[in-house]
Amino acid sequence: MHQRTIAREVIVEGIGLHTGRPARLTLRPAPAGSGIVFRRVDLAGSPPVRASLVSVGGTERGVILRSSVPVATVEHLLSAAYGLGIENLVVDVEGEELPAGDGSALAYVGALRRAGTLELDAPRLRIVLEEAVWARDETGCIVALPFPGLKVRYVVTLPELGAQMATFDAGSDRFEEAIAPARTWGFVEEAEELRRRGLALGASEENVLVLSQKGYVGAPRFPDEPARHKILDLLGALALLGGEVAGEFVAIGGGHALHISLVRRIAERGRRSPAPLPGEGDQTGG
């Protein structure tokens, strides 16, 4: 239950999903309590931006953090860090958008594993729900319920494929096997319109699970891969709280904006406290 960072620096390179431009990240160790901090080292003098709710500057087709300059599509890195229990990092970014990798969180999980983890002399922050919290918009709805661990059920309805539900229980499922490989997905019928709007300029079958109104175009890694990727994105949003979240989440539809809306409500209503370190709180009176 200690806070963690990485043991050594590691580099991730690739192209941005939406910009199509090269990007390079250097992930560095960070001290306890610092959180995940992005630095645009390609723009001299730009202030760092912390991965927190106050820094969210956009949610269209990804989460954008912003100080005076943007850092775009951060959710897959944040999800990987959250899934591996790493809450303190310095991320030096060369480029406006983080690398897409293969469209999943595997590139970031691999990088964090190569870097190794270092336990820090400070307890993790734990955010506990004491009442139901929910959010809804035109894309769907999510409810978060009190629960001692972390459990997510996500329902997605797709043309021809119908409704699919993916589940993740942090107490029994391994993030890097059950969730991290799930890729971002999109419909081939939307591609031209997205590119007209300056989005998906780096998207291809190499980094997107492509669907059509008739079903899968590319082969999915899981029968419910789109729903699993929604869980991946939701975990990335939870990382913005800066600690371990306890709750049971049930989502029907939804996207980045709805995830952020729910996390804001959790920040307002959840109880935040340091998690007990091993050996603390287990003494019995005599």
Q: Report yes or no: 237 and 254 within 8 Å, Cβ to Cβ.
A: no
Helices (H), 4-155: 75-83, 106-115
Q: Read off the DSSP letter of residue 166.
A: E
Amino acid at 216: Y
HSE-CB for 114 with a 13 A CA cutoff: 13
Determine whether 256 is an active site residue: yes
Q: Is 174 exposed, middle or buried (0-12, 13-18, 19+ CB in 10 A)?
A: exposed
Contacts 24+ apart (CB under 8 A), 148-153: 148/246, 149/246, 150/244, 150/245, 150/246, 150/247, 150/248, 151/247, 151/248, 151/249, 152/231, 152/234, 152/235, 152/248, 152/249, 152/251, 153/248, 153/249, 153/250, 153/251
- Which residue among 18, 229, 256, 259 is the active-site one? 256
Structure tokens at 225: 């891969």
The C-alpha R_g of the chain, in whole angstroms, comes to 19
Cα separation values, 250 from 133, 136, 140, 147, 201, Å: 11, 12, 11, 12, 32
> Which residues are part of the catalytic machinery?
256
